[in-house]
């Protein structure tokens, strides 16, 4: 998946598992950028009685590099606390929850938002903000869309925030991809080809996720003096990643005392570009990658320069990727992928795209050129399809990043930096899911991810 | 170099002791992301002493959002004796 359960250690710690990160110029407030960091993968909508919630022992952060040094200049921190209103019931709610302060809601969550400026001051922007409950079902959470929208908070300085359950926006043919890289529509050409040639399946269309969204005026994100109407200016580009950290030690109290945490925060999950750790980092280093800051990503560059998947494709699909096979055997490095994922794309590489290059220091950031306005006619394939407001220029909630990245690995983007390379015909035909059903996945306003599925109507995911 | 939770927990099983009193030592390591609220680590809060290397006497004190490292072979010797 994008980054759901993508490393051995974090797959056992879903509350801290950063599943997706989005960063895009807000389509209905183009003077702002919306950042979304999702956590807790594969939430079954009926997952009660202890429905999903953020970790009160986890520090959630969204980091922004605005000067191309591969380190964050601005960090937004989110800390959660949980209350139990009625200690004598096992129920999540004891009646319909019709407002965020409903006494029927037995386990509300609250959070604070803190802005940390590198070398500057730390400011608590808001405290005591309410999360919405999970979407339990029609009896417990009627009018859920309205209830959840009340949890969109405006906290001053033109900033909006939301933290709570939403519909999973990512879509992927998971069962196929991880079954030895079966790529539709030419799975019949796979080295191992059972007779089942069914169309792609969106494996995560019926799950929810916990989402932290923050919408910030561009002027607060760019470094001082930036001209945000100039897409050719380096100052218009920001690098983004999100993370989750836990205290270095935890003491379990058993029956005698409450459990407690202590020590510095230790990063246990991070995410910039989708699928980076999932596909490009070997399993033996995935936990290390999660604990590492982007500025130190050069140690993982080999997996980008010589991706394992690119080497596997000609083997798994004999005769389908001859040009890619020849390139691999030449020992050439995938400088196209390095640019997309580790440095940003320099101006002039993609026709019509001013670029989003930030640094030669290899670092996995989701890079967004904030001066590029939202598209009136967005294409889910983003930049490779001529829609420069989409991935990998940031990432919108609906972008088909799986198809884009698989095509890129298969060689579609290599001619951008290697004019002698001709992609194989199959490379541009790979489509992770030909016709994904995206109904209800998104909304047109902040926080942009759709209303979560409810447990009564979606008893099984 | 960062220390993973797993590595720490594994180490803690043989070398960590929770104590209930504060120890005045210089702070040499702090959280990457400073906490905006008042710091923990007053004498009323629990602390954890992590003996990172029993043979050398290296100790790490985990308090609030901070880690304080120091060298105290005598303390380590007493802790090891108490652990027997």
Buried b (16+ CB within 10 A) or exposed e, A414-448: bebbbeebebbebbeebbbbeebebeebbbeebbb
Q: Tokens 């339990």 belong to which residue?
A: A136
Report percent pLDDT > 90 for chain A.
Answer: 87
Stretch B63-69: mean pLDDT, rounded? 93
B23: contact with A, CB 8 A cutoff: no
Query: Of the candidates A377, A449, A456, which has an alpha carbon nearest to the alpha carbon of residue A208?
Result: A449
At A448, phi and psi to the nearest 5? Answer: 75, -35
pLDDT score at B12: 37
Q: Are strands A153-154 and A160-167 parallel, antiparallel or unpaired?
A: antiparallel
Instruction: Work out the average pLDDT over A221-247.
Output: 95
| Paired tokens of A79 | 């800390």
Q: For chain A, report the end-to-end CA distance as a whole number of angstroms.
A: 16
Q: pLDDT: is B45 or A337 the higher one?
A: A337
In chain A, residues with a C-beta closer than 8 Å to the C-beta of B66 are 263-264
Average pLDDT of the segment spanning A294-308: 98
In angstroms, what CA-CA distances link B52 with A202, A371, A427, B24? 47, 49, 51, 19
Looking at the DSSP assignment, which residues form a beta bridge with residue A367?
Answer: A239
- Residues A320, A323, A324, A329: is their CA dihedral positive or negative? positive
Q: Is B84 on the interface with A (CB under 8 A)?
A: no
Chain A: residue whose CA lies nearest to B61: A263
Triad A5, A7, A9: Cα angle to 5°: 95
User: Can you tell me whether residue A40 is helix, strand or coil?
Assistant: strand
Backbone dihedral region of A407: left (phi > 0), alpha (psi from -120 to 50 degrees) or beta?
alpha
Q: Say yes or no: B4 contacts chain A, CB-CB below 8 A.
A: yes
Tell me how close the Cα of A431 comes to any Cα of chain B, in angstroms: 37
**Does B32 or B71 have the greater pLDDT score?**
B71
Record the tokens describing residue B13, joined without a space. Answer: 């099983």
Q: Taking CB atoms and an 8 Å limit, are A264 and B29 in contact across chains?
A: yes
Give residues 24 to 43 of B whose Cβ lies within 8 Å of A: 29-34, 36, 40
Q: Residue A427 has which token pair?
A: 């490379």
Q: Quick one: CA dihedral A258, A264, A266, A272, positive or negative?
A: positive
Chain B positions touching A9 (Cβ under 8 A) are 4-6
DSSP-based helix, strand, coil % in chain A, nearest 5: 20, 25, 55
* Nearest CA-CA partner of A172 in A411, A400, A451: A400
Confidence of residue B37 (pLDDT cuts 50, 70, 90): very low
Beta-carbon contacts of A163 under 8 Å, excluding residues fewer than 6 positions away, are A54, A78, A80, A109, A111, A129, A131, A151, A210, A211, A212, A213
Which pair of tokens denotes residue A326?
A: 């020849």
Q: Which of B12, B18, B33 sits opposite A75 (nearest CB)?
A: B33
B36 pLDDT more than 50: no
Q: What is the pLDDT of residues A103-139, one digit of tens each?
A: 999 999 999 999 999 998 999 999 999 999 999 999 9
Are B5 and A245 inside 8 Å of each other by CB?
no
Is residue A114 within 8 Å of A79, Cβ to Cβ? yes
Asked whether residue A262 carries a pLDDT value surpassing 80, the answer given is yes
CA–CA gap between residue A240 and residue A222 (Å, rounded): 12
CA-based nearest distance B40→chain A, Å: 9
A37 — phi, psi (to 5°)?
Answer: -120, 120
Closest residue, chain B, to A257 (C-alpha): B46
Closest by CA to A64, choosing from A243, A244, A278, is A243
Q: What is the DSSP code (8-state) at residue A102? A: -
- Average of per-residue pLDDT values in chain A: 95
For residue A432, the model assigns a pLDDT of 76
Distance CA A174, CA A171 (A): 9
Q: What angle do CA A444, A447, A451 make, to 5 degrees?
A: 80
- The predicted pLDDT at position A461 comes to 66
Check whether the bond before A447 is cis (ω within 30° of 0). yes
Q: Which of B2, B33, B66 minimises the CB distance to A61?
A: B33
pLDDT-derived band of residue A437, with 50, 70 and 90 as boundaries?
Answer: confident
Highest mean pLDDT among A168-177, A256-265, A433-442, B44-53: A256-265
In angstroms, the separation between the Cα of residue A299 and the nearest Cα of chain B is 14
**SS3 (DSSP) at B7:** helix
How confident is the model at residue A441, as a pLDDT? 96
- Assess B16–A contact: CB distance below 8 Å, yes or no: yes
Contacts of A264 in chain B (CB under 8 A): 29-32, 62, 65-67
pLDDT in tens, A129-166: 999 999 999 999 999 999 999 999 999 999 999 999 99
| Tokens of residue A194, six digits | 């059972």
Which residues from chain A sit within 8 angstroms of residue B2, using beta carbons? 266-267, 291-292
Question: For B48, which of A75, A114, A251 is closest by C-beta distance?
Answer: A251
Set of chain B residues whose Cβ sits within 8 Å of the Cβ of A122: 34, 36
Within 8 A of A59 by CB-CB distance, chain B residues are 33
A248-257 as b/e: b if 16+ CB within 10 A: bbbbeeeeee
Q: Give the single-character DSSP code of A294.
A: G
Dist CA B33 CA A81 (whole Å): 18
**pLDDT value at position A185?**
75
Q: What is the pLDDT of residues A22-46, one digit of tens each?
A: 999 999 999 999 999 999 999 999 9
ipTM of predicted complex: 0.78
d(CA A36, CA A308): 29
A76/A225: higher pLDDT: A76
Specify the pLDDT at position A224.
Answer: 85
Question: Min CA distance, B45 vs chain A (Å)?
Answer: 10
The predicted pLDDT at position B10 comes to 38
CA distances from A259 to A204, A233, A256, A279, B18 (A): 34, 50, 9, 36, 12
Helix (H, G, I), strand (E, B) or coil at A178: coil
Residue B27, pLDDT score: 36
B20 touches chain A (CB under 8 A): no
| SS3 label, residue A458 | coil
Chain A to chain B, count of Cβ pairs less than 8 Å apart? 76
Q: How far apart are alpha carbons A267 and A286 in whole angstroms?
A: 13
Nearest to B64 among A114, A246, A262 (CB): A262
Q: What is the pTM of this model?
A: 0.91
Distance in angstroms (rounded) separating the CA atoms of residues A90 and A238:
46
Interface test with A, best of B6, B23, B33 (most A CBs within 10 A): B33
Q: What band does B43 get if pLDDT is binned at 50, 70 and 90?
A: low
């Amino acid at each position: 998946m994008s980054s759901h359960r993508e490393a051995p250690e974090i797959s056992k710690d879903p509350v801290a598992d950063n599943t997706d990160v989005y960063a895009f110029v807000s389509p209905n407030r183009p003077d702002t950028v919306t950042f979304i960091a999702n956590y807790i993968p594969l939430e079954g909508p009926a997952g009660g009685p202890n429905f999903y919630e953020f970790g009160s022992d986890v520090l959630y952060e969204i980091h922004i590099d605005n000067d191309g040094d591969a380190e964050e200049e601005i960090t937004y921190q989110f800390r959660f606390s949980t209350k139990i209103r009625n200690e004598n019931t096992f129920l999540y709610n004891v009646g319909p929850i019709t407002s965020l302060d409903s006494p029927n809601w037995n386990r509300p969550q609250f959070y604070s938002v803190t802005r940390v400026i590198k070398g500057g001051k730390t400011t608590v922007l808001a405290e005591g903000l309410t999360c919405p409950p999970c979407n339990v079902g029609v009896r417990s959470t009627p009018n859920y869309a309205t209830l959840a929208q009340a949890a969109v908070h405006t906290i001053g300085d033109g900033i909006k925030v939301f933290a709570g359950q939403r519909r999973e926006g990512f879509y992927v043919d998971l069962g196929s991809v991880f079954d030895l890289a079966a790529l539709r529509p030419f799975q019949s050409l796979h080295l191992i080809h059972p007779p089942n040639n069914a169309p792609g399946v969106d494996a995560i269309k019926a799950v929810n996720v916990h989402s932290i969204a923050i919408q910030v005026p561009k002027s607060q994100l760019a470094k001082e003096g930036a001209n945000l109407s100039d897409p050719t200016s380096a100052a218009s580009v920001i690098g983004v990643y999100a993370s989750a950290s836990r205290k270095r030690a935890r003491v379990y109290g058993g029956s005698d005392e409450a459990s407690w945490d202590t020590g510095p925060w230790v990063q246990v999950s991070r995410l910039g570009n989708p699928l980076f750790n999932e596909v490009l980092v070997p399993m033996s280093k995935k936990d290390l990658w999660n604990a590492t800051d982007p500025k130190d990503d050069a140690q993982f560059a080999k997996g980008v320069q010589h991706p394992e998947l690119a080497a596997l494709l000609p083997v798994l699909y004999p005769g389908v990727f001859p040009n890619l096979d020849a390139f691999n055997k030449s020992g050439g490095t995938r400088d196209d992928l390095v640019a997309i994922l580790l440095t940003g794309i320099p101006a002039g590489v993609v026709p019509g795209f001013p670029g989003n290059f930030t640094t030669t220091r290899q670092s996995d950031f989701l890079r967004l050129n904030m001066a590029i306005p939202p598209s009136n006619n967005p294409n889910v394939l983003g930049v490779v399809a001529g829609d420069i407001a989409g991935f990998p220029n940031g990432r919108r909630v609906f972008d088909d990043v799986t198809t884009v990245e698989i095509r890129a690995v298969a060689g579609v983007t290599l001619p951008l930096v290697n004019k002698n390379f001709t992609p194989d015909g199959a490379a541009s035909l790979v489509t992770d899911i030909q016709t994904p059903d995206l109904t209800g996945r998104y909304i047109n306003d902040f926080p942009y991810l759709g209303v979560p599925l409810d447990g009564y109507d979606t008893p099984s995911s | 170099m960062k220390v993973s939770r797993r590595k720490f927990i594994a180490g803690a099983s043989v070398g960590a002791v929770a104590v209930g009193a504060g120890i005045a030592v210089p702070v040499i390591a702090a959280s990457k992301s400073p906490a905006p609220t008042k710091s923990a680590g007053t004498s009323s809060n629990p602390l954890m002493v992590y003996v990172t290397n029993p043979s050398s006497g290296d100790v790490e004190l985990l308090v609030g959002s901070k880690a304080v490292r120091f060298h105290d072979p005598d303390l380590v010797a007493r802790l090891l004796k108490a652990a027997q």
